Structure 1
Amino acid sequence: MTIETRNGSWSTRTRGIGLAAVRGLALTLVTLPGALLGFTLSLVSIALVPVGIGVFTTPWVLTGVRAYADWRRVLAAEWGGVRIPSAYRPIPKDAHAWARTYAMLRDPATWRDLRWLQVDMTAGYVTALLSAVVVLYPLEGLAVAAGLWRPLAKTGGYWYGFVRVSDQSSALAAGALGVALLALAPLAPRLLTAHFRLTRSLLGAGQGELAERVRVLTETRRDAVDTSAAELRRIERDLHDGAQARLVAMGMDLGTIEMLLDKDPAQAKRLLAQARQSSVDALTELRDLVRGIHPPVLAERGLGDAVRALALRLPVATEVNVELEGRPDAPVESAAYFAVSEVLTNAVKHSGADRIWIDLHQAEGMLRITVTDNGRGGALITAGSGLAGVERRLGTFDGVLAVSSPAGGPTMVTMEIPCA
């Protein structure tokens, strides 16, 4: 029983060493050309961005690099048990080419990929090659001793390590060296794991990036708290100056009416009509206030119909296209609704557009909203602007905002929010 167990363990270990050698050889054949091609194309495409050509080629090239990096992440998990999470920021697929290029170049993961490609074609190539060499090179020495030396000797001699093979005796010496080198074969799985750990150290998010991510999230959460406090103060002010004042005035009118009912019925009747109008105005203000907090149409019919209702109230011809798989969570719906509302308000006030297109699309757990107008362009995300407020609102939900607005138009604002 013990002998069978030992034999099984030895067989498993041998199979693992052989598998590591084969996988290392496969990586050797892929690593150098793949990394060299990806890095060269990326470098050339990014260099051509200032002249305009790279604006159109860079998204395609970097998308290919990301696909290659994700494939290597899969190999690292399946072949080495090394998990490397993919941490790319979402890219607006339907946005203008410049918006996609700008978003990709702003993503730290893009530059992390390019650094990895440089190392992968050097140190990564060496570690993958060594995991194959420590197994295959000793086997070559045994093959030379078994007779491979004869065809090799016809070419004028053959060096195996430090042994020059020219006859059977020197071939046996090469075989002995191969047997000695077999002691290094168990290193193959470790070298392959080292290759994948090197990949993880470069493709994985670093501590500095994680710290920056925490800082950004802290700021967006603080902005959310400040915005909520400001919203509560606005509601309090609107109630105090609007509906509350009208209700107080209506109460005073009713008191006066009560005293005039017997003395001056005509005046009481006029005051009664005034009180009724005050109640109508107060009710209208309360409805507007509630709509500003959470529109009833959003709660009852969802984001698509709520955005359509927004579009109907605009003085500009607006086309709405909705492709939603279902209803996102209520906070996400609310954030998306008010973000669209702010973007539309900016478009109507500042763009001079006579037509607006709104596209709502949900896929792969992301809610993507694009608002396009044919106005004069020149929209920027500057401090204190409406777009900056939209960016802060989306940042609370880990969403992103991209603006493409060249002078002369058109302007395309793309928003992406995780649905969960």
Structure 2
Amino acid sequence: MRDCSRLSRRAVLGLTAAALPLSAAAPAAALPLSAAAPAAATTVVGGERLAHGGVQVRGASALPRKLDARAWLVADGESGEVLASFNAHRRLAPASTLKMLFADTVLGKFDRGERYKVTDEDLADVPAGSSLVGIKPGITYTVEQLWQGVFLRSGNDAVHVLSHMNGGIAKTVAEMQARAQDLQALDTRVVSPDGFDHKGQLSSAYDLTLFARSGLKGADFRGYCGTRTADFPAGGRKTFQIQNTDRLLTGAWGLDVYEGLIGVKNGYTSHAGNTFTGAATRGGRTLLVTVMHPHAGGNAVYEQTAKLLDWGFEQGSSARAVGALVEPLSAGGASASPAPGADGKAARAAAGAPGPGHPSSWRLLEGAAGSAALLGAGAWALRRRLTRGRAAAAEDRPESGTGGRRRT
């Protein structure tokens, strides 16, 4: 009897474990990816080649040497063709490049001439160690000045003031996540509007490039990200000058200004390292490049971006697309669907679909040997849930840097 009772309890646990992944599955955008398998997204966006890790390029001469970033992507800003990529869908901490999504979501809500007096409450939730433009309670700022603080100095204080104007941090985060879904940026999970290090806040080179492309279609976004300097209020009639932290735009830290650079946004935290999305126009052609987490520090993220832009304008002109930047759903873009890999196995596994000749977990429950099949399905589902849990925990664990966090 004890053996029968034990078997009965196991069967019940098996049924519960089998049912949960099917009835309580998380949305595709929220499913974590293993760092060891960067392209194993539940839904592949932009084409099957982008689902694979490693370099993707065809029909063009050799790529630049000494590219040590953990992910990068080169795309044509007009057509949306992805000319080359490396781990395009690898989910990594985005740092302040997430501010591109913040701007794309909130920028059109307020007139640039609107004035706002900052309160203590507006700044109370700015994370310690944030990059700041220097906003002070009691001073009245125009919306234009607040956006200059966001784009030029990557000021988390400016982001939080604008978020409170927008109805609060939680509302803004929800709207950013909804905008990411509309853009089909399914690798992105938003936890804070400023991009500061938070557990589970992730994006990808592909998604960041989507944000840049969408944002640059707006005149205000394009104007702010290309502004080199501005005068910022210091109280009364006093002002101080702020400079854009995009070193390819300003030529700071020993770098040359990149010819034809438009913007867009850089970012840094001790956890994320350096991340940058840049856009440039030459000869009537606009290219977008995103570089995430080079192993080298300092100017490496800008130097590698410049190399990839050079390649795109030169050798990249003969490249054949390896993928595409999709259009937003709200603009008529086709909803992404699972894309098979070279043999179809990777995509089926990523989508949780059975392979040819393999019944689904529900079909297992329909078999004649109901009890045995139920128990087997339960054990399989339980193992699968445990494996996913371990993978999620490994991805959310900090990958580098344990010192104080600092943003640019």
The TM-score normalised by the length of structure 1 is 0.23
Which structure has the higher relative contact order (CA within 8 Å, separation 6+)? Answer: 2
- Give the structure with the higher percent strand: 2
- Higher alpha-carbon Rg: 1
The TM-score normalised by the length of structure 2 is 0.24
